[in-house]
Amino acid sequence: MTKAYIFTHKVTEADIERFRLFFDEIHLNQAIIFNEQEFMKIRENFDIIILYDLPSDSALPLLRRLKDKLSVPVFYFSYVKEPDTILEAFKFGVEDFFVPPFNIREFSEKLNKVIPGATFKRSIAELAKKYIEINYNLPIKLTDIAKSVGCTPEHLARVFKAKYNITPHSYLKKIRLEKVKKYLITTNLPLSEIYKATGFYSAPHLCREFKKQENITPFNYRQKYSKLM
């Protein structure tokens, strides 16, 4: 079976987890490459490259160095949305450029044009569930989720509830709170950082939702369950 090597550029554990979920949709064997040296050793064996960067760490310099060494499609996922960055990426030969929130359906359509049959077919509810799991850290709403899967918010709410017995909004909140709990017990990050990483509007907003759902404050939850103490 064709192999797709996914190159990630200086990403966090949360980013890696998010992209593993995203690229579960690719009907290909996969490997995640963490550094340029490793990438150069195996670059002859892949069919696509997924290039990913962060606002503080653009992958464009890497793309400049690799552009003459690449003979396969490059899909660029970036938190950098400036038009100049996008234009420069296309100048270096990327197949397509994606910014968050990342849309599985859109990527699948683009990838299938390059490699027919490369992605799995998913139902509207399944695509929406994946969209939530990948983009929970962003200020997404039901309208955004519905748009990503190509239906109305009302239709999405019906089919999602029918399949998973939970509304999209409640599932989004559930995922965010699960991520908060993970940060609380495995890191020393303050709430002022955790709320930004999990899609809440503010630290007080996070605290209110957490207390409402868990019947305990984030501070007390960390004291009780932290693996770092």
> What is the domain extent for residue 199?
125-229
Could you tell me if 103 and 153 lie in one domain? no
Last residue of a domain, one of 65, 86, 114: 114
Residue 5: partners with Cβ closer than 8 Å, 6 or more residues away: 30, 31, 33, 39, 42, 43, 45, 46, 48, 49
Rounded mean pLDDT, 181-204: 94
* Whether the Cβ atoms of residue 25 and residue 118 lie closer than 8 Å to each other: no
Cα–Cα dist 5/212, whole Å: 42
Model pLDDT for residues 195-209, shown as the tens digit of each residue: 999 999 999 999 999
* Model-wide pTM > 0.75: yes
- pLDDT at site 92: 84
CATH number of residue 90's parent domain: 3.40.50.2300
pLDDT at 167 over 80: yes
CATH number of residue 197's parent domain: 1.10.10.60
* Whether the Cβ atoms of residue 46 and residue 4 lie closer than 8 Å to each other: yes
> In a 3-state reduction of DSSP, which class is residue 17?
helix
The CA distances from residue 109 to 12, 51, 121, 126, in Å, are 27, 18, 10, 16
What total number of domains does the chain contain? 2
Model pLDDT for residues 135-164, shown as the tens digit of each residue: 999 999 999 999 999 999 999 999 999 999
In 3D space, the residue among 153, 152, 157, 200 whose CA is nearest the CA of residue 178 turns out to be 200
Could you tell me if 7 and 109 lie in one domain? yes
What is the DSSP pairing of strand 29-33 with strand 49-53? unpaired
Residue 146: partners with Cβ closer than 8 Å, 6 or more residues away: 128, 152, 153, 155, 156
Model pLDDT for residues 19-31, shown as the tens digit of each residue: 777 777 666 655 5
Cα–Cα dist 217/195, whole Å: 14
The CA distances from residue 227 to 3, 116, 152, 218, in Å, are 37, 46, 43, 14
